[in-house]
Structure 1
Amino acid sequence: LRGMLHSWLVQKDEVVAFCVANKADGGHGALIVLLKPALN
């Protein structure tokens, strides 16, 4: 599942970056995803 998620995130134009979250930020398996700002 982790590999599939990585493959999916790198294909999305909205995703600028992502990394594994620290324990305090979500624990095991959590990701932090940086998205481009929405165009309004």
Structure 2
Amino acid sequence: MHRYLFIAVLCFAAGYITGLVEGLSKSEQLTAIAAQQHNAG
């Protein structure tokens, strides 16, 4: 029983971290694009 709970928490944590990393990379890309447009303009 505890093993399944541990696996569930592990999967949830992995998904959360993955989403967090993807969100950070997307925000960095948006910031870079905004900076490029600002410099070009």
By relative contact order (CA 8 Å, sep 6+), the higher-ranking structure is: 1
Relative to total residues, which structure has the larger strand share, 1 or 2? 1
Q: TM-score normalised to the size of structure 1?
A: 0.30
Q: TM-score normalised to the size of structure 2?
A: 0.30
Relative to total residues, which structure has the larger helix share, 1 or 2? 2
Which structure has the larger Rg over C-alpha atoms? 2
